[in-house]
Structure 1
Amino acid sequence: MADGPGLAARRAALRLLDAVLRRGLPLEAALDAAARELTRGDDRALAHALAAAVLRRLPDLDALIDSATARPLPADAKARFALRIALAQALVLGTPGHAAIATVLPLVDGGPRKLVHGVFGTLMRRRVALPARPSLPGGVAQRWLAAWGRDMIDAAAEAIAAPAPIDLSFAVEPEAFDGVALAPRHRRLPPGTRVTELPGYAEGGWWVQDLAASIPARLLGAGGGRQALDLCAAPGGKTLQLAAAGWRVTALDNAPARLDRLRDNLARTGLPAELVLADVLDWAPPAPVDAILLDAPCSATGIFRRHPDVLHRVRAKDIAALAELQGRLLARAAGWLRPGGILVFATCSLEPQEGEAHLAAAEAAGLEPVPVLADELPPGILPDPRGHVRTLPSILADQGRLDGFFIARFRRAGQAGAD
């Protein structure tokens, strides 16, 4: 059994879950180390799928486990982790029960195998099932209920139940490409689509980017050769958009590995941009610019359906610290605009503290709101009454939903000078 089929992938999934739930690491960042022993791409994908399935359903999986034990298992007990993986296989991924338990028992060798086997068997004999609408972690549900109401909570729960669709952004409008067009230069494809096997991948005419994530760059319009800064730019979807729209782009990021990924994306698409490895708080452009796109570092709770780990890692103190950083970045970037220049501020967060709460500070920094109009947005997405954009998982529910973003557009006070 120790060398049984698929065991290495289960061990990697266990390491992934430990990295996320006990050490607070992002799922994607922990994948390379957790899957270091896996030599096949399919095993790596399985480990990721197992861990993601557990994270999507964690509160409900734990409730089932607790219903079958005399006393709750510690949150970090290996037996609980093994049961989570076994139940996710049986109840989410459709693995036969005997195979699901057989592949996880070796994970607790030298430990409470009888307990794990007994709890799993009890639950299978009960013919348990997970609720159709997953439960959100308690703290997340409380925050979002206060901010957005019950309908949004229900939509978020439905959104996390399964992987999100794949959205593609195109440099130019494609003449023929499968998928649903929800906006110009956009196609939506089913979850699990192998993007590297799609036509045009090698030629670089498109890149993966959620429809909501494409809105900030859309709001800057055509560049006409003018200068734009893309701050905190990697992995670069917005840089590619701006370059394709005719902006002269300087893309800044402080992470070498992420900047390398942006460099690879530019090479694949053939689009031009100047790359700068630097921290926004330590760097400044040589001269004022026409436009700035600040997609600020944030909690990333808005992309929870693609990265379900964020709902289990991010705490209120993390949100507060990130909001403070966002305010500093916004104030610093505001001074780099020419009079009349445009700044678009965005966060992929569903926390008002990382979005709407920054509006007063932006105006204090000399930025005037430039309301977004309905005809500037993809059909089905509307600006709020003040002209800002808040996307929620309840939007476009019949088309696969959206990631959660806050987007606001501003103009630097003063008259634009002659070019």
Structure 2
Amino acid sequence: MARTREEGRQDTQGLGPRKAALAILRAVYLDRQMVAHLDQPRGLAPEDRARAERLAQTVLRHTGRIDTLLSAYLERRPHPLAQNILRLGVAELLLDEAEAYGVVNAAVAIAKQGRATGGAAGLINAVLRKVDQEGRARWAQLAPQTLPVWLRKAVGGAWGETATRAIEAAHEAGAPIDITLRDQSAPFEAGEPLPTGSIRLPRQTQISTLGGYEAGAFWVQDAAAALPVKLLGDVSGQPVLDLCAAPGGKTMQLAAAGAKVTALDLSKHRMGRVRDNLRRTGLSADMVTADALEFNSGPWPIILLDAPCSATGTIRRHPDLPFVKSAREVEALTKLQMQMLDHAISLLDTGGRMVFCTCSLLPNEGENQIKAALKRHPNLAVLPLDPKALGVDPAWISAEGGLRILPHYWQDRGGIDGFYMALLQKR
């Protein structure tokens, strides 16, 4: 993603952020890499890097809709890199409402610089001009981007067609910013208090400029992700094992509630983020970098297992995910979840409580895992949840007693990440 010195000096058309956005799109579409795993583009100012990622995510969030629109102007799809230039141009014209002259000229200039796209410069120029002239009316008639076939089949089979379409609309709408306060009783002037206790901020909010950020008064955490800790109730003074702890949102919640937390994660790099977050908030926890399946300390009175999963519940904030994940990967993850759940139960003290949770839309990573675990472990029970105390709709309680959240819930508030969680007890 590096720019040449010449480009850096003469980037009067704003090509730098656009080319960086196209590099992101290529990495996602062609190399199946998550945006979060990519190196930061070099040679760009922070605001240009932010613009590049925003542009790329806008395209990813609306790719199906953009391609449907473009098909009306193309006899056949051009080279993938030229298609990406067209996608970016459409996103700028119709979603960013950028000035057409600059968008078209920049797209043509970028095309001419590429060996695979130079021959498509004229086509890109003609198509984007037509999109600017008449594309808005067509765009308004198109449905939101659909989930990949394998995922749509699973989601539709679990929740029905109407809910699936609502989920897809929630994904296209994107996500606001939720924060968790270190001191839940402290007043916080910005944002909208949610029934669950989180604070919701507009998505354009600059978090680092908010009062209390430097003092560690809050951290970013989707309202759904903040609920698993709440299921445990009072943890003050209790030893708690937080398995798969990174990036540390739940660890901080537990520590802020007075628990004696042991935070464990396999990734040394990700544990560095937990350590940084604890340092900023002035909270503390024992840190263990290890494989959860090989960790045998215990027994523990309280365990929180936020198991590795498909993360399909977070598509509204990670629109690259549908282009990277596969059904085969989910199959492997469900087996790992089962192993981790069984091992965590073996570490749980008799009478102890455990929360199992995943940020997934799929019952195989949620409800079905718990049903299977209950059959494997006759001494395991699902403890009832109090919707009123949690601040959730009673309809969110699933048949086996867990909490099922889908992205289109709270639509009037801006939605919520898809999640599943259950409170278990070893009897």
Of the structure 1 ranges 168-177 and 86-95, higher mean CA displacement relative to structure 2 is found in 168-177
Q: Aligned residue for 2:234? A: 222
Deviations 1:2-36 (A, max 9, x none): 73342111111111111111111111222x34x12
CA apart distance, 1:377: 1.7
Could you say which residue in structure 2 is the equivalent of 1:119?
Answer: 127
372-381 vs 57-66, which moves further = 372-381
Distance 1:412 1:56 in 2: 42
Letter in 2 for 1:58: T
Counterpart pick for 1:301 among 289, 312, 328 = 312
What is the Cα-based RMSD across aligned positions, in Å?
A: 1.8
Q: Which residue of 1 aligns with 2:89?
A: 86
Determine if the alignment matches structure 1 residue 44 to structure 2 residue 55.
Answer: no
Correspondence for 2:411: 397
Q: Secondary structure at the match of 1:372?
A: coil
Deviation string 1:46-84 (CA, Å, 9 cap, x unpaired) is 00011000011000111122221112335xx11101101
Instruction: Answer whether contact 2:196 2:390 (CA < 8 A) is retained.
Output: no
Which amino acid is the alignment partner of residue 22 of structure 2? L
What secondary structure, in the 3-state scheme, does the structure 1 residue paired with 2:416 have? coil
The residue type paired with residue 275 of structure 1 is: M
User: Which residue of the partner structure matches residue 158 of structure 1?
Assistant: 169
Q: What letter matches 1:237 in structure 2?
A: G
> Which residue of structure 1 aligns with residue 58 of structure 2?
53
The residue aligned with 2:194 is 182
Match of 1:65 among 48, 63, 70: 70
Partner-residue secondary structure (3-state), 2:305: strand
Q: Give me the whole-angstrom Cα distance separating, in 1, the residues matched to 2:229 and 2:382.
A: 16
Q: Tell me, what secondary structure is at the counterpart of 1:23?
A: coil
Query: Which consecutive residues of structure 1, in runs of 5 or more, have no partner in the other structure?
Result: 414-419
Q: Which residue of 1 aligns with 2:268?
A: 256
**Which residue of structure 2 lines up, in the alignment, with residue 243 of structure 1?**
255
User: Aligned partners of 2:72 and 2:159: how far apart in 1?
Assistant: 31
Which residue number corresponds to residue 144 of structure 2? 134
SS of the residue aligned with 2:55?
helix
| Secondary structure, counterpart of 2:75 in structure 1 | coil
Structure 1 distance, partners of 2:371, 2:164, is 27
Amino-acid identity (%): 38
**Normalised TM-score (structure 2):** 0.91
User: C-alpha deviations, 1:174-222, integer Å up to 9, x for none?
Assistant: 2242221113642111111111111100111111111110110111112
Q: CA contact under 8 A between 1:133 and 1:157: conserved in structure 2?
A: no
- Per the normalisation by structure 1, the TM-score is 0.93
How far apart in 1 are the matches of 2:193 and 2:405? 18
Counterpart for residue 158 of structure 2: 147
* 1:342-361 paired onto structure 2 within 5 Å: 342-361=353-372
Measure how far apart 1:299 and its partner are.
0.9
**Which of 8, 12, 17 is the equivalent residue of 1:4?**
12
Given the alignment, which residue of 361, 367, 370 partners 2:383? 370
Whether the aligned pair in 1 keeps the contact of 2:61 and 2:171 (CA below 8 Å) is yes
Segments of 5+ residues of structure 2 without an aligned counterpart are: 1-6
Distance 1:194 1:282 in 2: 40
Does the alignment pair 1:383 with 2:397? yes
How far apart are 1:155 and its partner, in Å? 2.1
CA contact (8 A) 1:294 1:346 kept: yes
Distance in 2 between residues matched to 1:240 and 1:210, nearest whole Å: 14
Question: What residue in structure 1 maps to residue 4 of structure 2?
Answer: none
Match of 1:335, SS state, is: helix
- Count of residue pairs brought into register by the alignment: 407
Structure 1 counterpart of 2:42, which letter?
R
What residue identity is the alignment partner of 1:106?
A
| Per-residue deviation, 1:138 | 4.1
Deviates more, 1:379-388 or 1:354-363: 379-388
Counterpart of 1:95? 98
Report the equivalent of 1:105.
108
- Residues 246 and 270, structure 2, Cα contact 8 Å, conserved in 1: yes
Residue in 1 aligned with 2:27?
19
Give, in whole Å, the separation in 2 of the partners of 1:93 and 1:21: 22
Structure 1 residue 352, shift from structure 2 partner = 1.4
Question: Per the alignment, in what secondary structure is the counterpart of residue 186 of structure 2?
Answer: coil
